[in-house]
Amino acid sequence: MKITKVRARTFEWKGKTVPPQGNFCSNAMDLLYSPQETMKTFRFHGWTVVEIETDTGLVGYGNVALAPRIAKEIIDQYLSPLIMGQDPWDYEYLNQRMYRATHAWGRKGVGMAAISAVDIELWDLLGKSVDKPVFKLLGGRTKEKIPCYYSKLYRTDLNEMQKEAETYLKQGFKAFKMRFGYGPAHLQQGVTENLKSVEAVREVIGYDTDLMLECYMGWNLEYTKRMLPKLARFQPRWLEEPVIADDIDGYAELNAMNIVPISGGEHEFSLYGFKQLLDRKAVSVVQYDTNRVGGITMAHKINALCEAYSVPVVPHAGQMHNYHLTMSTLASPMSEYFPMFDVEVGNELFYYIFDGEPVAEDGFLQLRDDVPGLGLTLKTEYLDQFNIVE
């Protein structure tokens, strides 16, 4: 099998969007003087889709969500010439070729995300070429079905959050992730508000259900150290990304406090980066995203690394490129799950671009044994609501 054509297209949503309500979600910009800007950066309304054709007639799909127009340029200008005419089965070589050829500028951030999209696509092709789902090429089925956690519960009105939690509790979810709306800039009143929101959600879901708490890098070390003892009574399964991704010392210090397990890795980009996090015992849960860390080839290696360090992997964002890895490793106990909603932050956009994403039933996801590759096709239903950059 030889690669004959590489096509990267950016899908930019121009349809209806729901404006975020309330304080919504803390994030890294909250630490700056100009808080009115912080929500503007918190939008992911574009996605780059990579399609690669081969001389066998097979076509696969990969995707990247970070800085999608820039990722497209990287694929067009740098990555496409490196893989053209090559055999997708040489995926380790091709991954290293892309990683090393762009190393001076591409090894973290959007460069790595672009490589990820190509690599994910290659695995889709591999599965299709042998008529097997990707998870069967990675180790096969390690779970009858994948437990997943409901991930939304942004900080809006507390009654609204409670209604949302109640609705999805009734649908059978046994684990939930909620977002904090306040950070250091909101002083003691923000501390009170944050605690009230956790209390409100726990009141609805009880204590036989997992609760995860998301900071999205919107806190700092000092604030988190004050918050951890106050949060302990709510028995969170983890506190996610309290500080910015580069502050590995901060993660290590917080995790060593052993009050609430600290999770992270959603903004880490390489096998070496994860080894550093693990060596430093900086996180108790690893949350890579396959479409950031170098694709399936690299995520598979990170799974093995985490297994050896006995640190569970719960990938960021769900979605097929992550689900196949979760299905095929014991290092991964469950998946994140974004339900389909009207377009808001943009986490939902995957459903508007692709058909084939599994829908959670009673808190579980299923991957089919009889669907080759990743199991995704391009959706036609919403095409006219995207600006498509060729």
Ligand X SMILES: O=C(O)C(=O)C[C@@H](O)CO
Q: What are phi and psi of 178, to 5 degrees?
A: -115, 160
Minimum CB distance to ligand X, residue 132 (Å): 29
Binder of residue 151, out of ligand X, Mg ion, none (CB less than 5 to 8 A by kind): ligand X
Minimum CB distance to Mg ion, residue 214 (Å): 5
- Report CA-CA distances (Å) from 361 to 144, 171, 174: 13, 8, 11
d(CA 10, CA 272): 29
Of 346 and 372, the one with the shorter C-beta distance to ligand X is 346
**Which distant-in-sequence residues (6+ apart) come within 8 Å of 351 by Cβ?**
340, 357, 379
Of 118 and 146, the one with the shorter C-beta distance to ligand X is 146
Contact 292, 260 (CB under 8 A): no
Minimum CB distance to ligand X, residue 347 (Å): 5
Contact 283, 311 (CB under 8 A): yes
Of 30 and 266, the one with the shorter C-beta distance to Mg ion is 266
Minimum CB distance to Mg ion, residue 40 (Å): 19
Of 116, 12, 5, 112, the residue nearest 69 (C-alpha):
12
Q: Which of 300, 316, 321, 324 is catalytic?
A: 316
Binder of residue 345, out of ligand X, Mg ion, none (CB less than 5 to 8 A by kind): ligand X
d(CA 24, CA 178): 10
Of 61 and 238, the one with the shorter C-beta distance to Mg ion is 238
Cα torsion through 259, 326, 380, 57, rounded to 10: 150
Binder of residue 25, out of ligand X, Mg ion, none (CB less than 5 to 8 A by kind): ligand X
Contact 22, 215 (CB under 8 A): no
Torsion-angle region of 209 (φ positive above 0: left; ψ -120 to 50: alpha; else: beta)? beta
DSSP conformation letters of 276-331: HHHHTT--SEE---TTTTTHHHHHHHHHHHHHHHT--B--TT-SHHHHHHHHT-TT
Of 124 and 344, the one with the shorter C-beta distance to ligand X is 344
Q: What are phi and psi of 67, to 5 degrees?
A: 35, 65
Can you read off the two tokens belonging to residue 156?
């809006």
Minimum CB distance to ligand X, residue 214 (Å): 6
Is residue 300 annotated as part of the catalytic site, yes or no? no
Contact 289, 338 (CB under 8 A): no
d(CA 158, CA 154): 10
Minimum CB distance to ligand X, residue 336 (Å): 6
Binder of residue 30, out of ligand X, Mg ion, none (CB less than 5 to 8 A by kind): none
Of 28 and 74, the one with the shorter C-beta distance to ligand X is 28
The three-class DSSP label of residue 143 is coil
**Which distant-in-sequence residues (6+ apart) come within 8 Å of 230 by Cβ?**
191, 195
Minimum CB distance to ligand X, residue 263 (Å): 9
Burial class (CB in 10 A: 0-12, 13-18, 19+), 175: buried
Binding site for Mg ion (CB under 5 A): 240, 266
Binding site for ligand X (CB under 6 A): 25, 151, 179, 214, 216, 266, 316-317, 336, 345, 347
Of 99 and 216, the one with the shorter C-beta distance to ligand X is 216
Residues belonging to the active site: 316
